[in-house]
Structure 1
Amino acid sequence: MQQVNGVVARAKGEPVRIEKINIPDPGPGEAVVAIQACGVCHTDLHYREGGINDEFPFLLGHEAAGVVESVGEGVEEVAPGDFVVLNWRAVCGRCRACRRGEPWYCFDTHNALQKMTLTDGTELSPALGIGAFADKTLVAAGQCTKVDPSARPAAVGLLGCGVMAGLGAAINTGNVGRGKSVAVIGVGGVGMAAVVGSRLAGAGRIIAVDVDDRKLEWAKNLGATDVINSSRADPVEGIQALTDGFGADVVIDAVGRPETWRQAFYARDLAGTVVLVGVPTPEMKVPDLPLIDFFGRGGSLKSSWYGDCLPERDFPMLVDLYQQGRLDLDAFVTEEIGLDQVEQAFARMHDGDVLRSVVVW
């Protein structure tokens, strides 16, 4: 066991603070990773606000890259010294989804079995089973994906959550391909990644929708061909007008609210696809829609789990594209900060001033 610094949320709504935490030696199937960079994601703020569950105290942070320090018995996926990106869906290889060759839908993903603790022995709940706002963290070895060690940690670590979710929502879930039209509703970090993923996949028209002109300008710089400020114009009408009156082939809701999902539903073409990747809260309901509209419009209504990614397949490929200059992950890193600036980063994120603040060691 060793002791390191970590960012802990002790109670709902309270400011986070740096505390000493205990990291157990890795057991069977586990690994200890020395963190090099970790993005500040909105999910971490949800944890602090009690929006995920009430299992306080939380060790926050999950969009991370680092170096494997030690591994437990039976670990073959990675070895000490490997540079890895962490993920929060380590697949089991045994459930019905894995057995039928669809491990990205794994129904029995897992994390480390041992618990990290405060110095008084209080067990910590690591955010998304990772807890990477810490000098080191304990994870399941399957949560570590080895990638090119020359890549910039602050950039490639973002594949661990938001960027992968958006890229995957477009490429994996939405099946965006050459010449297709795509609309992305909400261009925060996840939505911006969906814009980038659509461009990477060869989409012909990419329409970004948001209420913030700053974000829309960022989206144009990252590949959006058109933008709509939905605080000033009806997004459904705007998307239809830009697609010859038909609607987009794929509409990605990166907000996750009933009103934005309804917009996505009606802004798609006949036989088009709606992808929900924005995370709703438990009390939100599917908006009241005539059943004939579900039937008459055809197509697909999908939710995207983590961009339907398979880390061992997708992370190395995307890091290679980044290294080749074909995927601009650096554009998502608005600022690099220290571990003691996470609370301030939450405020800047809430105000829409950043795509990502990234803690670097």
Structure 2
Amino acid sequence: MRILVTGGAGFIGSNFVSFLLQHYPTYEVVILDKLTYAGNLLNLTEELERSNCTFQEGDICNPLQVERAIRGCQAVVHFAAETHVDRSIVAPEVFIKTNVEGTYVLLEAARKHHIQRFIHISTDEVYGNALSPEGISRPSLETDPQRPMSPYAASKAAADSLAYSYWTTYGVPVVITRCGNNYGPRQYPEKQLPHFILCAQEKRPLPIYGTGQNVRDWIHVYDHAAAILTLLHEDGKLVHGEVFNVGAGEERTILENACTVLDLLRRPRSLIQFVPDRPGHVRRHAVDTTKIRRVCGWQPRVRFREGIEQTVRWYQEHPEWIAATRARYDDFVRRVFELEAEAA
């Protein structure tokens, strides 16, 4: 099988490529990535040494670049997206262009080339707060209405709807996944856990929004990769045109995560710094994964305590990756770290 992986130089995409080639070493993989601030070829050092894994620098919003990358592929796994909520509040137009227009360009190419499976990687952010239709707090179901609470979440909800429409209208074999918060090696330090880890290593304050009681469901990136790989090979009659939640049932508050990281790195909890809450901050993200467990037999295997210990060790053992990533910080992340340094 020849697979196009968009956004394959990013955190989740690169881990998926690695996981895929470990389990299916004869598959051909084409990676299409724009190499924005979060895309990093250091994430693919070993994979790109293989003759059956190739990289093309390109933008999913560019039909010609997508056409070149998708030619000869049987499947698409679509990770490429702008994903940081805080950035979407500052610059929503970038999210609309990449996440909506880019998905449209890919779907059109998939339709033209008769792609056999198109896995659209979405997010539990599209549900907003995890609530029943009656307003009772509980993990989100695939059938729950979408109530996005940030421009990022809204752009992904729009992309989900567009992807589904290509299944119902054109028969493009779309599968939509909505995953909880990922963590693991090689995650760009704008996201919560790597940000906490790097701040703690350098004895900088760990910023906590509001009271720190907002809850997220955390899943190790390897478990997410395994879920996608399962959906890639499942019988199309069971998965085409379907939405699948992916999560580990590991719900934790921001404050709990900060305390865990500080304890693992033997740093004082006095480094915790409460900051004003961000606009539209979702109180609870959690997903019900009954459907993917029942249909595909998938289940998460990495418990949070094991996974966070492994993740902290990875950042400790890869100072060269941190140094190279820091050299590529854009103004957004640089300002965040400068503000924290001043507060310290």
Q: Which has the larger radius of gyration?
A: 1
TM-score normalised to structure 1 length: 0.33
TM-score (norm 2): 0.34
Higher strand share: 1
